[in-house]
Amino acid sequence: MDLGLTGRRAAVAAASAGLGYASAKSLADEGALVVICGRDRGRIDDAAQRIGHGCVAIVQDVRDAAGGAAFIASATEALGGLDVVVANAGGPPAGNFESTPVDAYDTALDLSLMSVIGMAKVAVPAMQEQGWGRFVAITSLSVRQPMATLILSNTARAGVTGFLKTVAREVAKDGVTVNSVQPGLHATDRLLSLYGGATDGAAMGIPAGFIGDPADFGAVVAFLCSHQARFITGLQLHVDGGSYGGLQ
């Protein structure tokens, strides 16, 4: 299926590795012109090289609203506008209620909530103006099913999900869709560090019996950015091999 992404201009945040990288790779393979960012020049250049198709690498930390906004401004300048944004960042540290100090919430909210708001505030109005846009945020299954040892993620991602749903309904009339994708367990550096290198999906309780492949996740993101996904907005899509046990 041709996703209609040829020549579309896309910015993917925090894409030197993991789910951001996989999303950027899928978009580039589908013909989009892609700009990515990361914090380290060597790593982000290497990622752009592997993505190919003329992918542009920018050094930018998206740890807060200003960082997110700066990335979108740079990507817009590099490509002369943006049609697609994939908002992403590294996840906040693990911890439960007892172990997590109050000031850690500020940092996590900056990283996982305010950075997305910073990106949206710059990208979405321009998309509305041009009458076409796709804004997709990578969040977490923890929105749907809070995880005991990830209280920072549980808290911040619920906020960003409410924000995105509100924006989606406000801008739908302008040809702009706003969605989030909620990863369950996927084989990335973050997963390996959180779970001590474990990769046995069946033993980890994933009904599909295997851990998610970031490339499959990237393909889902690319579909949400497609022409054909124009009637999908305000969605929170969990990609989790059946891990979530609820109905909604």
**Binding site residues, ligand NAD, CB under 6 A:** 14, 16-20, 37-39, 61-63, 88-91, 138, 140-141, 153, 183, 185-186, 188-191
Place of tokens 């817009």: 76
Nearest residue (CB) to ligand NAD, 171 versus 239: 239
d(CA 69, CA 36): 14
State in angstroms the smallest separation of the CB of 188 from ligand NAD: 3
User: How many CB atoms are located within 10 Å of the residue 126 CB?
Assistant: 15
State in angstroms the smallest separation of the CB of 16 from ligand NAD: 4
Nearest residue (CB) to ligand NAD, 171 versus 188: 188
Q: Are 155 and 147 within 8 A, CB to CB? A: no
State in angstroms the smallest separation of the CB of 143 from ligand NAD: 9
- The strand pair at 84-87 and 9-12 is best described as parallel
State in angstroms the smallest separation of the CB of 153 from ligand NAD: 6
Q: Determine the 3-state secondary structure of 102 from DSSP.
A: helix
Nearest residue (CB) to ligand NAD, 6 versus 99: 99
State in angstroms the smallest separation of the CB of 237 from ligand NAD: 13
Cα-to-chain-centroid distance, residue 26:
13
Taking the CA atoms of the chain, what radius of gyration do you get in angstroms? 17
State in angstroms the smallest separation of the CB of 112 from ligand NAD: 6
Element (H, E) at 76: helix 65-79
> Could you tell me which residues are beta bridge partners of residue 237?
181
Nearest residue (CB) to ligand NAD, 25 versus 63: 63
d(CA 71, CA 192): 27
Nearest residue (CB) to ligand NAD, 114 versus 185: 185
Nearest residue (CB) to ligand NAD, 20 versus 118: 20
Nearest residue (CB) to ligand NAD, 19 versus 164: 19
State in angstroms the smallest separation of the CB of 90 from ligand NAD: 3
What would the DSSP string read from start to end of 163-226?
Answer: HHHHHHHHHGGGTEEEEEEEE-SBSSHHHHHHTTT---TTTTT-TTSSPBPHHHHHHHHHHHTS
